[in-house]
Amino acid sequence: MSGTEHDEPTAHVVVGYTPQEGFVAVQLSPPPAEYVWHDRRAEHRRERFGPGNRYQQWLAVDVGTGAVWFGDTDWRKPDDDPAAGLPGHRRGEVGDGALPSPAVLFHPFTHRVADGEGASSWRFPTSEDLHALARRLLPTVQRVVDSLHRVGPSGDLEWSAEAATAWSDLERACEYTSDTTGTVVWADFRTSPVPGSRVEVTDFLARNPELCDPSWPTATDAELDAYAAYEPGSGYGGVPGRMCASARVHIEEGYTFYGHRAALYAYRAAACGDRTPVEAGSWLRTTDAGRSAWEAAKVVGASLADATDCVLDHLVDTFRSAAADDGAVLTGLPAYLWRQRAEERAAVEETLAATGEELNRLEELVKEIRRVRNTVLTRVLSWNDGRDDEAIAALAATSPKVVADWRERLTANQSGRPV
């Protein structure tokens, strides 16, 4: 497993059911046969499902906490939503990667069973039957819980090959038949070894080190997550699929890979050794060592917007060295600095654009004011009240030459000469 430390969950049976929260059939008469699930594996669809709301008994497990409980659906309710009353997800719905939160899986029971003579009949396990089964399954549930990968600071759950195998054992242990007296006979309990077709991504990386990406040791959580989430149109996805697609290497069919994110996080942790991987922006902004390194590298009054690529490359080396002294490995550092410079340059460009818009606005305003001033100046000059050009220029906040030129044009226009 990888990530931060977590409290150890323990497999346990939840107690204290109510009719609304747990096993409804205990409080009701058993439903008619036509209201239950038929055999899901039957060849013909009409033999698989009944009408009504398809009554279902189930066993549920919260693989994050180890809680185990059982219940059923209320067969009296309309069949508007087949999933109503079901506690979580079927195993097949969640795939072999990350688990949902909350990580509640349920296993539905088949109610049409064969007896020792080969005849089939409807059978509904009682609450006592299922409680005994739940207690019997606790070691298997604990195996699932203990072997899941817990990844990252939040301890996100991810399937492992061991956990998937343990869940398969749990499903087999939930199969049952009935003897000639109608007593439920559960399948044998087993602890199966992990089959060779189920492969941990960590093992795949160890066997193929030449395919590992050199960027992983300093990649951010988001970059590792994106790599693990690779989904091609066909073929293998996840880490092995992307590694082999980049290297143009083919993986033979038939394998299922587990622990994609866990493997990348573990690879990065191993590459960092005794130092802690920390996102570059967080280290520079929130740690004393990071803030000191930033201030020491920054020229007074300088901005990243004016830094060249060579300067950014130098800062990368400077900050990595300072982080190493602080016991940290910076992830995503080059991308962070280039992104910061792009943001600062975008801010400068926004200032330039705003300045240009304001300048255009002021120029239009000046044109309008000048038009009004010229109109008023024309009126004053037309009075011919004896004031000279200097006096009128002082009123108009312009030069006497401008007033003289304007007076000349006005006089020429009044005399009929072309202006």
383 domain-assigned: no
DSSP E strands: which ranges in 21-108?
57-62, 67-72, 104-108
Helix (H) or strand (E) run with residue 113 in it: strand 112-114
**Length in residues, the chain:** 419
Based on the fold, state whether residues 255 and 350 are members of the same structural domain: no
Question: How much is the pLDDT for 27?
Answer: 52
Q: Identify whether 385 is part of a domain.
A: no
Q: Which one of 273, 292, 323 terminates a domain?
A: 273
From 171, 188, 205, the end of a domain falls on 188
- Phi, then psi, of 202 in degrees rounded to 5: -55, -40
Residues 131 and 261 in one domain: no
Domain boundary among 227, 258, 273: 273
What pLDDT score does 126 carry?
78
How far is residue 418's CA from residue 411's CA, in Å, rounded to a whole number?
Answer: 11
Distance CA 116, CA 181 (A): 10
Same-domain status, 291 and 359:
yes
* Residue 52 maps to a domain: yes
* Containing structural domain, residue 203: 196-273
What's CA 221's distance to the chain center, in Å?
Answer: 11
Vertex 309, ends 303 and 312: CA angle to 5°? Answer: 60
Note whether 58 and 179 are same-domain residues. Answer: yes
3-state secondary structure of 84: coil
> What is the Cα–Cα distance from 252 to 225, expressed in whole angstroms?
25
Specify if 47 maps to a domain: yes
- Asked whether residue 48 falls in the same domain as residue 161, the answer is yes
406 CB burial (10 A radius; 0-12, 13-18, 19+): buried
Q: Within this chain, do residues 126 and 243 fall inside the same structural domain, yes or no?
A: no
pLDDT at 49: 56
In this structure, is residue 343 part of a structural domain? Answer: yes
Contact 189, 132 (CB under 8 A): no
Report the alpha-carbon angle 282-288-289, nearest 5: 85
Total domains in the chain come to: 3
**One domain, residues 120 and 176:** yes
> What pLDDT does 5 receive?
40
In whole angstroms, how far apart are CA 354 and each of 303, 341, 342? 20, 20, 18
What is the reported pLDDT for 329?
A: 96
- How many angstroms separate the CA atoms of 213 and 25, rounded? 55
Of 187, 192, 138, which is closest to residue 164 (Cα–Cα)? 192
What is the tens place of the pLDDT at every residue in 19-74? 444 555 555 566 666 566 556 566 776 665 555 556 778 899 999 999 998 888 77
Within this chain, do residues 313 and 338 fall inside the same structural domain, yes or no?
Answer: yes
Cα 186 to Cα 107: distance, rounded to the nearest angstrom: 15
Q: Are 278 and 329 in contact (CB under 8 A)?
A: yes
Q: Are residues 166 and 38 in the same domain?
A: yes
Task: Give the chain's residues under pLDDT 50.
Answer: 1-6, 17-21, 418-419
Task: Pull the structure tokens for residue 277.
Answer: 């991987």
Are residues 314 and 285 located together in one domain of the fold? yes
User: pTM value?
Assistant: 0.76
Map residue 271 onto helix, strand or coil. Answer: helix
265 with 286, same domain? no
Evaluate whether 287 touches 326 at the Cβ level (below 8 Å): yes
Are 121 and 112 within 8 A, CB to CB?
A: yes
Nearest Cα neighbor of 31 from 58, 45, 46, 52 is 52
Domain annotation covers residue 159: yes
For 207, residues 6+ apart whose C-beta sits below 8 A from its C-beta are none
Residues 105 and 228 in one domain: no
Could you tell me if residue 77 is inside a domain? yes
Residue 407 placed within a domain: no
How does pLDDT run across 177-229, given as a tens digit for each residue? 777 676 778 888 889 999 999 999 999 999 999 999 999 999 999 999 999 99
Residue 61 has φ and ψ, to the nearest 5°, of -135, 130
Tell me how far apart the alpha carbons of residues 369 and 183 are, in angstroms, rounded to a whole number: 102
